[in-house]
Amino acid sequence: GAGVSQSPSNKVTEKGKDVELRCDPISGHTALYWYRQSLGQGLEFLIYFQGNSAPDKSGLPSDRFSAERTGGSVSTLTIQRTQQEDSAVYLCASSPGLAGGGDTQYFGPGTRLTVL
Amino acid sequence: SQKIEQNSEALNIQEGKTATLTCNYTNYSPAYLQWYRQDPGRGPVFLLLIRENEKEKRKERLKVTFDTTLKQSLFHITASQPADSATYLCALVLMEYGNKLVFGAGTILRVKS
């Protein structure tokens, strides 16, 4: 089937506006992750959904960031009152949710966010 | 503090040679370690996983080692090709946090023909 998809691929917004980024995971994958990657940097963990468990929000940098996962499938990452430092590529990944450490992640192409 | 360190400088090698990339970590106790490849403008792609009780793992031209005493993983690409040019990321699997991955910043590999 299709891989992880994200939309939009690019988003340019003005400082102070709200943005929503969408992720469609691979069908059947119970785990979904959001990461942020700044230019030349590694992946910064933001939030993790696993099945019906409470999400792990420990990586969200501020209360301007929130995410939802509806029906165990599609996820939306919302950034309120965007700041210039929010400019980055936002990557979504999903995984089958296998027990043990052998659960590998499948990444989408990312959304490049530019805050002017 | 907890850190994952990968070669910060790009690795430039000649086609046909073996590329060796390093991943060092401190104050983590991962049960598993994964390596991913990332091409410009794309998301990372999984390559290999190695468990803490495995010293070495191979897949075609790729070889990964995992030394939990040294807290280090080495990633080797033998008979390197220009198509191997990419950024390579190591990731620690933290099972105590629900299999959360913690990524290094990655190493850029450039293979010249």
Distance (Å, whole) CA B93 – CA B100? 6
Q: Residue A101's pLDDT band (boundaries 50, 70, 90)?
A: low
- Kindly list the residues from chain B whose CB atom is less than 8 angstroms away from the CB atom of residue A53: 98
- Residue B89 pLDDT > 90, yes or no? yes
- Chain B residues touching residue A101 (CB < 8 angstroms): 30-32, 49, 51, 93, 95, 99
What percent of chain B shows pLDDT beyond 70? 100
Q: Please compute the mean of the pLDDT values over residues A54-61 and round it to a whole number.
A: 91
With contact defined as beta carbons under 8 Å apart, do A19 and A81 qualify? Answer: no
pLDDT tier at A100 (50, 70, 90 boundaries)?
low
**In the predicted model, what is the mean pLDDT of chain A?**
92
pLDDT digits (tens, 9 = 90+) for B10-67: 999 999 999 999 999 998 888 899 999 999 989 999 999 999 889 899 999 999 999 9
Percent helix, strand, coil in chain A, to 5, is 5, 45, 50
A5 touches chain B (CB under 8 A): no
Who among A42, A45, A107 is closest to B43 (CB)?
A107
